[in-house]
Amino acid sequence: MKKMLLALLMISFVLVPVSAKNGFAAGVNLGTNAGLGLRYSMSDFDIVGNIGYGFLDGYLSVDAAASYTVASFQIEQAPFDVTVGGGAYVGIPLSSGTNLGLAVIVPVGLKYHMNNKDLPLDFYLRLAPGYWLKPSPYFYMGGYVGALWRFD
């Protein structure tokens, strides 16, 4: 199953840039869910998502959220955004006898946007507290650090 997940991630890294649209970014996401990080930017908000392996629960992890920029600031001309959003986390079991996982998440993050046409990267740090609904209710906490290549 891990080989299939790795093959899926490699295919995604090839296909995502080919199908990129204005305001799209893809890259690497590391943390409680390690794998492919995605973002589609719109005028008022971003759709962010991660697909990978959940190290805390052993699931194939998929999460998506709408992310709004609530504040922006600069440190020595380097632009940063503070983001808050809402979304869902789905954990698909990779072993038999394990139930599907589902959580509501509220990601809060810090994003650094490189203003370089030759190296169009965004770096982010995101915490995603939430509430695990299935298989049994409890408080959920996810955390990510990542880098995305912008295709705009």
Q: Assign residue 19 a region: left if phi > 0, alpha if psi is -120 to 50, beta otherwise? A: alpha
pLDDT at position 39 is 92
What is the per-residue pLDDT for 6? 54
Q: pLDDT (tens digit, 0 to 9) for every residue of the chain, 152 residues total?
A: 455 555 555 555 554 444 444 589 999 999 888 899 999 988 778 899 999 998 777 789 888 999 999 999 998 888 999 999 999 998 888 877 778 889 999 999 999 988 888 889 999 999 999 998 887 888 988 888 999 999 87
pLDDT for the residue numbered 19:
44
Q: Please give the pLDDT value at position 88.
A: 92
- State which amino acid sits at residue 46: D
The 10 Å Cβ neighbour count of residue 145 is 15
Residue (of 56, 52, 35) closest to 138 by Cα position: 56
Q: Quote the pLDDT of residue 10.
A: 54
Model pLDDT, residue 44: 74
